[in-house]
């Protein structure tokens, strides 16, 4: 049994319903002592909408990151960290790239990123998950609507909403190559989903997620007074999105691959407990058990 009250029950066999968020969005908000910081207007935007886009924020990182990812892809052949597209053996996701390589490691500790993350989460943070989403031209398939937090709560035991994803565009994300869609403001509600999680659900969900995907009736309710927004931008654009923001993305049927590097940071005050879905926790490459606070890289 979970060791803690379940504030966000989901996939426990009940009917699907929308329940309110019980946690703050911005924790603290005071700038940290070193490195970059967010201004009041940016904090307000994040609080209201659940995400923030910083166009052209670190274009100098794009080439070195791409080179390292290409190398990593070869080195990881045959490993569980590589996930293929649902209908082909093309690469969909590389998990835990931060565990393997220099520039990528530097990225998640970067003085232009880490202080912003600490400012939003109001504490030290650890790196819970990292991934490269590849979305190949023509064959890159969609990601269904979901809240990351819902999966992390049910399958990994993340107790509260005090985590976020910071990600960089490594190619242009435009209207045709399957950009991330978000629903601004949806982070303030929680969709408690129906169904029950099967053992080792991640083995199929990473290719195509089925559980934790709200039903069309629920999405209609969410969209009654909210809109879908496509996040587009040039390589080097940084995006920060809140762990409970509803998001997804369409197929890429264009001639341009779409590549992003994502780092998930969780507050050290929000360490996982026994998963709320009453299952054995997922492997380390999806939810790290190394809770050491991320330290700042040299500028
Ligand atoms: O499983 C995860 O941790 C992430 N992947 C998917 C397909 N959905 C939830 C979350 O974003
Ligand atoms: Fe997601």
Q: Which domains does the chain carry? A: 17-51+91-132+140-270 (2.60.120.620)
pLDDT at 230: 98
Q: Which residue's C-alpha comes closest to atom 10 of ligand 1?
A: 148
pLDDT of 101 > 80? The answer is: no
Count of CA atoms in the C-beta half-sphere (13 A) of 273: 14
| Mutation pick for ligand 1 pocket among 80, 92, 206 (CB with most ligand atoms within 8 Å) | 206
Compute the mean pLDDT over every residue in the chain, rounded to the nearest whole number. Answer: 94
Instruction: Tell me which residues have their CB closer than 6 angstroms to ligand 1.
Output: 129, 146, 148, 151, 205-206, 209, 286
Atom of ligand 1 nearest to the CA of 202: 1
Quote the ligand 1 centre to 244 CA distance (angstroms): 12
pLDDT of 44 > 80? The answer is: yes
Per-residue pLDDT tens for 75-89? 888 889 998 888 888
Q: Which residues neighbour 164 within 8 Å (Cβ) at sequence distance 6 or greater? A: 117, 120, 121, 240, 241, 242, 243, 264, 265
pLDDT at 60: 96
pLDDT at 28: 84
User: Does pTM top 0.90 for this prediction?
Assistant: yes
Of 174, 158, 178, 185, nearest to 51 by C-alpha is: 185
Which runs of consecutive H residues, i.e. helices, occur in the chain? 40-49, 62-75, 102-108, 114-121, 148-156, 202-205, 216-222
Atom of ligand 1 nearest to the CA of 287: 3
pLDDT at 2: 52
Q: Which residue has the tokens 């990225």?
A: 107
pLDDT at 78: 87
SS3 of 3, please? coil
Q: Which residues line ion ligand 2, judged by CB < 5 Å?
A: 148
SS3 of 126, please? strand
Q: Which residue's C-alpha comes closest to atom 7 of ligand 1?
A: 206
Question: Which ipTM score applies to this complex?
Answer: 0.92
pLDDT of 1 > 70? The answer is: no
Quote the ligand 1 centre to 109 CA distance (angstroms): 22
pLDDT of 189 > 70? The answer is: yes
pLDDT at 35: 82
Per-residue pLDDT tens for 237-278? 999 999 999 999 999 999 999 999 999 999 999 999 999 988
| Mutation pick for ligand 1 pocket among 11, 152, 164 (CB with most ligand atoms within 8 Å) | 152
Mean pLDDT of 39-50: 97
Quote the ligand 2 centre to 33 CA distance (angstroms): 31
pLDDT of 3 > 80? The answer is: no
Per-residue pLDDT tens for 113-131? 999 999 999 999 999 999 9
């Amino acid at each position: 049994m979970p060791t803690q009250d379940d504030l966000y029950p989901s996939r426990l066999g009940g009917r699907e319903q929308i329940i309110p968020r019980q946690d703050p969005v911005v924790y603290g908000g005071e700038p940290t002592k070193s490195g970059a910081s967010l201004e009041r207007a940016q904090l307000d935007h994040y609080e209201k909408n659940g995400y923030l886009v910083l166009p052209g924020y670190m274009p100098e990182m794009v080439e070195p990151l791409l080179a390292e990812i290409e190398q990593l892809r070869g080195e990881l052949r045959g490993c569980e960290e590589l996930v293929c597209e649902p209908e082909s053996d093309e690469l969909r996701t590389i998990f835990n790239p931060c565990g393997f390589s220099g520039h990528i490691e530097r990225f998640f500790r970067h003085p232009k990123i880490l202080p912003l993350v600490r400012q939003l989460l109001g504490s030290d943070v650890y790196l819970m998950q990292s991934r490269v989403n590849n979305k190949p031209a023509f064959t890159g398939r969609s990601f269904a609507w979901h809240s990351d937090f819902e999966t992390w709560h049910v399958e990994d035991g993340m107790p509260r909403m005090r985590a976020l994803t910071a990600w960089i565009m490594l190619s242009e994300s435009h209207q045709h190559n399957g950009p991330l869609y978000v629903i601004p403001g949806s982070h303030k509600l929680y969709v408690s989903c129906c169904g029950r999680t099967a053992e080792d659900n991640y083995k199929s969900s990473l290719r195509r997620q089925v559980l934790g995907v709200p039903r069309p009736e629920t999405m209609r309710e969410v969209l009654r007074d909210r809109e879908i927004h496509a996040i587009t931008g040039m390589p080097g654009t940084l995006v920060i999105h809140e762990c409970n923001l509803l998001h997804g993305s369409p197929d890429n049927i264009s001639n341009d691959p779409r590549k992003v590097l994502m780092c998930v940071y969780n507050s050290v005050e929000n360490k996982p407990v026994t998963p709320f879905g009453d299952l054995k926790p997922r492997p380390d490459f999806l939810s790290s058990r190394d809770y050491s606070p991320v330290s700042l890289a040299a500028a």
